[in-house]
Structure 1
């Protein structure tokens, strides 16, 4: 038996053991997702800048087509076409409020052990106060286009297009296209299409109807994705593969204050403003990016205009839309207008993670509104949007259609806006006169180094164990 097959079997057995109570078998997913020939087809690469600590340690693993930045350790894992982006990890001396402001004794590092991450994004920093120096993902499998954002994981399975955000999970199953931000979960199974945010002050919850979700993000018996959103992504896969076939590309022209990643696809009449960040594996075609806006990993902005300081979170898709100033389009959202049925989103709107807007008529959302769920017509706005002012007045509970909210609306809106300010600052949208540097400025002079696997022999498909230090 090859060492690559042993690696796959080890991951399956460890994850299955953690999910034994659910009688959940990950073998069908792994056997269909991990084609051994694919595992030697793509090189891996890591980024180096003068502004990020450098430490990469890869051991007994396959990391085909994956990107690493910051401090990362990968052991006995398969990381396929994933982005492990450690540019927001905590640094030595940083203090954690929930840990009595005791400073970190060393830089935080992403540590991935006995896990399979398939076309997954790992980003931000650990929000687990028990291990402030370690962002740990252990005995876990994540499927296509999942987002692991500031979340530590132990013994979990994340379905396609799911997101776990700023939390800790132990022995959990997160269904496809679910977004979860609830602090901590133990031994829970989250139904597909669940959008759930909870803290001591408020709770927001929405669940997609099964037939609607199945049309956009369904899965086979082996948890392989299908549906409208998956087909949309797959149709553009080849555009990204071409980026890996050549070593040097002419950079896309952009202002000196903006950064266009070498591994982003830029097509058509795309225009880039000041302080713009375009991350790796983002796709822009006939897009206008206003000053301070960003396109994060796995986002698609096509035939659309984003005004200033717009945030497109990881996996957000915006097609034939006009997005007003300071709007947020959340993780894995799918906003698909048409040339004659454009989507217009007013200034200051918050489009919740995992929102689907797929109209057959023009849609216009007023300024300063919260947007969620599934919107197909202008009439749907009555039960899928609310003005931020009206939500701020809620003191106990609110039900609109399939959405339920409890707690203080003003705290919910305030915390959301605070987070958006931090995102804009971190991405360099507020850069001016040499002050407030962010990713858009720090990533301009990044260099990429590639790593290749063994192509023959017993270790075929594995990468040499390697440690890279300053």
Structure 2
């Protein structure tokens, strides 16, 4: 146990050193946030398939219930119930296109995590940083509950609960609770809670910031207590269902799964759920009375309850859809919270984009027309008017534009095109377009993952809760 406590102190100290210019102290936020005794209770897992190169190296690490898939190297790290995905790693010989450059990849990419404490965080390796093609690094970083590190190398940073850093290299930064950052590369910045920032330098800049008083009812985090609010209550209320799937070896699947679709072993599937062709249901997704039409997906930490997705719909990491109907080709961004009511359904029209970290929480029937984009806090028809536009109208913006709490600068056409291109890539990568053995994606490749467990040192002694040094390579 002493070694585990020393490891925690070391990580906190290193993060504080990196954030000294911001005068940000991680220790009050992290102290006793996860009791040391809690860190000793869990097995770690790793998955093997023919499609994901296995290369796991663990040294002097506590992995506490975390899940690994693909090439990972972990040294002196605390990982706590986090998902480390290595399913889109670059391979030696690949050409990486960045602006006008075609950069050769010299060796197989790997994920390297050093001196970091990641609490229930999703790490997805799809990095766009041209400077570090062979290594996706996370170093001296603390990330709290249900944050996403999505294709974003991180060094010396703190991520608040339900925050997301997406395709952005971050160095010595503080990302506030429920903030979303997609900005290319940032350093020595403190991003306020509830900030949604999407930037392509020289092309466009989207900025929205939640009202603090309204955001605090959904997620609130200060030192001395765990995160609180509607988001935490929502996941805590369904925690037992996930505990059950980890307590048994063989699980009976309660629904029919087409041969070209994939249902992860660690997803929760409740009754009256329907899974269509080419559907991907990822680890720690939660489906209850949900219909997923052909090519739809539910990514990690997603919840889809009493909802219908017509097809080719994307529910990005951590998004929640309750009492809603989605037309075809709808994108619901990271950690968005879409909640209608049984007698006040939420309807999202086809070909629409729900921006990452959007909250639509309505007690009256609400409809977003087809081909629209929505963002921010929406609770009624008036909010919807101030926080949405048709994609056609947004594409015509070519200068500075303000609407409600949203500020946009640059080319709206480039902004919309960038989102649409990324949506197509996600669908393609997930196997939504699979047909006649062509366009295979994660929905087809993830069907036969072999799950293996790793057990930490048992109770007693200084090493309690740590894992023995272990090297697993092909």
TM class by shorter chain equals: over 0.9
1:250-289 to 2 correspondence within 5 Å?
A: 250-251=252-253, 252-289=255-292
Residue 60 of structure 2 aligns with which residue?
60
Residue 470 of structure 2 aligns with which residue?
466
CA–CA separation in structure 2 for the residues paired with 1:46 and 1:421: 29
Moved >3 Å (runs of 4+): none
**Does residue 81 of structure 1 match 2:77?**
no
SS at match of 1:97: strand
CA–CA separation in structure 2 for the residues paired with 1:173 and 1:409: 28
CA–CA separation in structure 2 for the residues paired with 1:80 and 1:48: 20
- Give the C-alpha shift of residue 25 in structure 1: 1.8
1:184-199 to 2 correspondence within 5 Å?
A: 184-199=185-200
**Does residue 49 of structure 1 match 2:53?**
no
Comparing 456-465 with 154-163, which one deviates more in the overlay? Answer: 456-465
CA–CA separation in structure 1 for the residues paired with 2:258 and 2:127: 33
Q: Deviations over 1:365-418 (max 9, x none)?
A: 100000000011012111100000001111112211000111111111111100
Q: Deviations over 1:345-366 (max 9, x none)?
A: 0000000000001111010110
Q: 1:427 aligns with which of 430, 443, 447?
A: 430
Q: 1:296 aligns with which of 282, 294, 299?
A: 299
Q: 2:217 aligns with which of 215, 218, 227?
A: 215
SS at match of 1:382: helix
- Give the C-alpha shift of residue 34 in structure 1: 2.6
- Give the C-alpha shift of residue 33 in structure 1: 2.4
Residue 346 of structure 1 aligns with which residue?
349
Aligned Cα root-mean-square deviation (Å): 1.1
Residue 179 of structure 2 aligns with which residue?
178
Residue 227 of structure 1 aligns with which residue?
229
Is the contact between residue 67 and residue 84 of structure 1 (CA under 8 Å) also seen in structure 2?
yes
Is the contact between residue 93 and residue 106 of structure 1 (CA under 8 Å) also seen in structure 2?
yes
1:24-423 to 2 correspondence within 5 Å?
A: 24-98=24-98, 100-199=101-200, 200-222=202-224, 224-251=226-253, 252-423=255-426
SS at match of 2:68: strand
Is the contact between residue 33 and residue 225 of structure 2 (CA under 8 Å) also seen in structure 1?
no
1:435-454 to 2 correspondence within 5 Å?
A: 435-454=438-457
Comparing 49-58 with 101-110, which one deviates more in the overlay? Answer: 101-110
CA–CA separation in structure 2 for the residues paired with 1:100 and 1:409: 25
Q: Give the TM-score normalised by structure 1.
A: 0.98
Is the contact between residue 55 and residue 72 of structure 2 (CA under 8 Å) also seen in structure 1?
yes
- Give the C-alpha shift of residue 74 in structure 1: 1.1
Which consecutive residues of structure 1, in runs of 5 or more, have no partner in the other structure?
none
Which consecutive residues of structure 2, in runs of 5 or more, have no partner in the other structure?
none
Is the contact between residue 151 and residue 169 of structure 1 (CA under 8 Å) also seen in structure 2?
yes
SS at match of 2:205: strand
Q: Deviations over 1:124-169 (max 9, x none)?
A: 3222211100000000000000000000111000000000000111
- Give the C-alpha shift of residue 223 in structure 1: 6.8
Gap change, CA 1:22 and 1:224, over 3 Å in 2: farther
Residue 14 of structure 1 aligns with which residue?
14
CA–CA separation in structure 1 for the residues paired with 2:25 and 2:3: 22
SS at match of 1:219: coil
Q: Deviations over 1:189-248 (max 9, x none)?
A: 000000000112111100000001001111132473111111101111111111111111
Q: Give the TM-score normalised by structure 2.
A: 0.98
